[in-house]
Structure 1
């Protein structure tokens, strides 16, 4: 919203029209003169508010839409909370698809590439600790930095762009490590085939793997917070559903590229499969991130006031993270607990699937010819890697199909809780009653009663356990591919459910805080009469900042960083455990009968089964205050009644709000007319 304070207004509950309260602009100093609705609209670049509502990236407004037209006043209009169209959600989340292509290259071809350099499986497992280690440290730190960023064009975009540049450089240097190191050491007369050069190549490749993972986690932290900040509070579940679909599409692009013999078609990008994949991933990531950054506008972070004055240093960083963990909302804590258990099993499945399928494919050839030359083994395992990548392609197709179709069968539970508790706020439930009279589309009849997002997530974890338990008995490529394809259902819910639950909690809380600030500003607070300070922030902004610091409210970057710690930390456990198991069960490369990866994957399935039990503890139905339930059901409220005097008891969300959530989602995703 504009930095200037809008006219205070209140809503007539009978007419739904706003009327200006006492106090005119003329009575205020010129530096604090209030803008009228046309000034506010023009600042957004539109002739009036109605033009903003009919933007191609905002769903057409209708009577009874509590998020667009039924505002208490034009001055309270918040374009970031207006219901967005499917095109907006695609542009908002498309960057995560480019990131997933880069991830898919590392997941499907990273392990075979390191093995081809001469790295053992046990050491390779320790190398992949780079991912969880960087996720544990980098994402919370990047989230904290981006929360405090006050650049005019956004808090998240600088980190998205900087992380993208670092990721592209890491991918390209990793792919050409052998040539770069060989040429450099060759200048000093070193033999490229010597043992010292080979060890140096492995060391440099491992270093670039660590740099790559740190860069990718920077981009991922920024993109996830970007989605939470820019999607409306009542469309967080829909936005994360769209993100999971685009991730599935990115997986398919990455795995198709890994299956095709790229040097035959795009040999100008590189003379090996891995080089071509890294080049394609770099192009995809750069183009999608630029698209999101150029076409999606963030809130101006300078309007939030000065950033928190955190103490510098590593100890201060960890101290703040531990404090933030303690004050996490209960719902988010439960999700983090689920993720901690689940990712012990997800990590080996994601990183070792191509090698697992490849070993099943190669075993008959190794039994037939146990004395293959190194060149013959390289060719066999290159083909085996392509077969393993095809299994990951089936996995990605299953995941994408689940992401596309499953949301229409699930009631949008976490999108149905209205943002309330702000007197006179445009985010209240006053307009929800009219949704009951809206005409239902055919999408509404697809919803399965009782089939909630939480239950779908829990069932998918159980499915994962059964699929991974069967990996130890799979002896054919076809059967193993079916098992990997089935867990694509689990992966689809993993990309959707936890992010939807957490994002909905964060976005609703932030929307309430912004609406409360706006209400306080328009109510004629004495702090508004002070002139803006020299640094561009008013005393009122500093007062709000002090109040937030007192309330210890964490922003999206920090909370999502903590959530990623719950994902990354168990991967360290899985990595160490995998290394130990590989040390015990693995056989030398080229020896038939090596089923060590299957054992690791089966044990991971047990951890995922435990996580399914913790999902049962997550609150299935959102809760709202009793007074807001009565408001939503009756459609009437006293605008002058102070919210602080209302009761704070909670009950289950009323049916009318669920109806409204269904209709908002079905309208946004019902067609391409927007």
Structure 2
């Protein structure tokens, strides 16, 4: 019989109202999303400016899925067993934020740092600069995944069960705010605001701003939240075995999924092959369209071409983020929730004055499944046009339209997965499993305020939390694997169509620069993503027929 886990203290959040407490708890997500936004907006053109070819840049972005696949479960397991007096999550958040901030500053000043050890001119300096930049990106990706995993876990640890949904809603709002602030900062000419105090290029200034924003937002959350402290995890050998068993179960379960969960995962798989090139290359694509077709001559020959591409691309993503934010607020009002679909004969009684209008509107509200299917087709229809775009206005419009399907992509799969998890959990608890309350107990001992949680490990499969952990972990697997496939597709496309250096970001007359004639490599990647999104629409249609 394993010993119970022991705790000291009670989780608390500073603040005079619930809204303030929720904002403080989730504030760190603003800095996290700010950093992701800067990376996705500027790092691709930055590496191209350093002289890396697009095919090699595509291989750099394997850092994203690789870091998510490794860091989130590893940090989660280590943090779960941490007995730090500062709590289980906050130390990882602070250390991770410090590593991210330092790596961002190194990324901004790679040439200057390499110049301290290598002569400024020559191929050795150039190769060393590229190597340091790539290593910095990997450090940013791995460290920020640790911060993100700890932040999400802190929300779960701190809030009681009835407040979990509210915490998730506030987390979504902070993510949207972080995107908007990040893209807004990228669209501004920071040189005219700060001069050269933060650096002599837009990219350098943004790395300073992003590092500051991340440290500030993480600091606010860590200051406002008090965690309970883990004293003992009970039988340490049993705990290690449980962690291994959990990982083994995740892999085994992924090959034998319930039919509807399997269908949801395959929708997510095809969907994310489509979204990967959009999220990592859309800014560069918009900037390239601008420089090729719409920019005046002085913009094409400006010394900070990277800043120009970043600002133009950020403007399109600001519109994209605004539409996503508005869509996440409006769409739930005009789409029939799955619970309404399961009770088609039930309609809430509206006020008499507007009853006819409301009842007529209810007849035409689409289901979430239908809206999700059409969102894939909307994304596919937009991105399939990218190889023929020849103006900044058209490129911005196509990117902006994708805000609607992105809102549904962030909402629908988790809703359907939650329904299936609850359905399986209810079925399990009423058939072959006992409830947690029957075999577990929670005791608060007055001496020292030690909280001891007694839980029989045999309850694992009967617990909704266990089912959620396993199946959401599998959903994350079906989100991560397509990014590796997207990276391989991008590498092949760029190797064939644009094997040399990017003409927009290479020096004039530089050797190895390819021309601008022929199809744009990023546009072809977006086109392939559109085809995969059409497959996702078909998979969503099939989901509606799976029982």
When the two structures are superposed, what TM-score results if normalisation uses the length of structure 2?
A: 0.78
The 3 A distance-change label for structure 1 pair 167 and 456 is farther
Give the whole-Å Cα distance in 2 for the aligned partners of 1:203 and 1:139.
25
| Residue in 2 that maps onto 1:473 | 388
* Structure 1 partner of 2:508: none
Deviations 1:452-506 (A, max 9, x none): 4433333222110000011111111101100000001122222233344446777
Counterpart of 1:289 (choices 195, 204, 218) is 218
C-alpha distance in 2, partners of 1:232/1:474?
50
* Structure showing greater Rg: 1
Q: 1:291 to 1:559 in 2, by over 3 A?
A: farther
Q: Distance in 1 between the 2:305 and 2:57 partners?
A: 20
Pairs within 5 Å for 1:353-368: 353-364=282-293
Q: Residues 145, 392 of structure 1: CA spacing in aligned structure 2 closer, same or farther, 3 A cutoff?
A: same
Report deviation, 1:409. 3.2
Give 3-state SS (helix, strand or coil) of 2:483's partner: helix
Q: Partner residue of 1:173?
A: 106
Closer/same/farther in 2, CA of residues 269 and 516 from structure 1, 3 Å limit: farther
Matched, 1:102 2:35: yes
Indicate which of 334, 356, 359 corresponds to 1:409.
334
1:131 and 2:94 correspond:
no
Local SS of the residue matching 1:568: helix
| Residues 94-147 of structure 1: CA deviation (Å, up to 9, x unaligned) | 332321110000000010111111111111011111111112222233333344
Q: 1:606 to 1:378 in 2, by over 3 A?
A: farther
2:17 maps to 56
**1:346, distance to aligned residue in structure 2 (A):** 0.8
Change (3 A) 1:337 1:219: farther
Shift of 1:217: 1.7
Tell me how far apart the structure 2 counterparts of residues 508 and 153 of structure 1 sit (CA, whole Å). 38
- The equivalent residue for 1:279 is 208
Q: Of 347, 350, 355, which aligns to 2:276? A: 347
The number of residues matched between the two structures is: 507
Q: Secondary structure at the match of 1:119?
A: coil
User: Once the 2 structures are TM-superposed, how far is the Cα of residue 251 of structure 1 from its aligned partner?
Assistant: 1.3
| Closer/same/farther in 2, CA of residues 280 and 404 from structure 1, 3 Å limit | farther
Distance 2:406 2:227 in 1: 29
Q: Hey, what does 2:516 align to over in structure 1? A: 592
Q: Does residue 396 in structure 1 map to residue 333 in structure 2?
A: no
Cα deviation for residue 203 of structure 1 reads: 0.8
**Greater Cα shift, 206-215 or 356-365:** 356-365
SS where residue 589 of structure 1 aligns? coil
Residue among 369, 375, 387 paired with 1:454: 369
Taking the TM superposition and a 5 Å limit, the aligned residue runs for 1:66-215 are 87-149=20-82, 155-183=88-116, 185=117, 190-215=118-143
Task: Mark the runs of 5 or more structure 2 residues left unpaired by the alignment.
Answer: 343-347, 504-514
Q: After the TM superposition, which of the residue ranges 558-567 and 474-483 deviates more from structure 2?
A: 558-567
1:563 aligns with 2:507: no
Of stretches 607-616 and 337-346 in structure 1, the one that deviates more from structure 2 is 607-616
SS in structure 2 of the partner of residue 269 of structure 1: coil
| Partner residue in 2 for 1:427 | none
CA deviation string 1:263-304 (max 9, x = no partner): 221342222211221222222222323333444566776798
Please say if residues 103 and 136 of structure 2, whose CA atoms lie closer than 8 Å, have aligned partners that are also in contact.
yes
Q: Which residues of 2 match residues 518-537 of structure 1 at below 5 A?
A: 518=437
Residue in 2 that maps onto 1:654:
none
Matches within 5 A, 1:485-634: 485-502=400-417, 516-518=435-437, 541=454, 544-548=456-460, 554=466, 560-586=472-498, 588-590=501-503, 591-593=515-517, 594-618=519-543
Distance in 2, Cα, partners of 1:502 & 1:147: 24
Structure 1: gaps of 5 or more residues: 5-41, 46-53, 58-85, 418-435, 624-674
- Whole-angstrom distance in 2 between the partners of 1:506 and 1:91: 30
RMSD after superposition: 4.5
Deviation at 1:155, TM superposition (A): 4.6
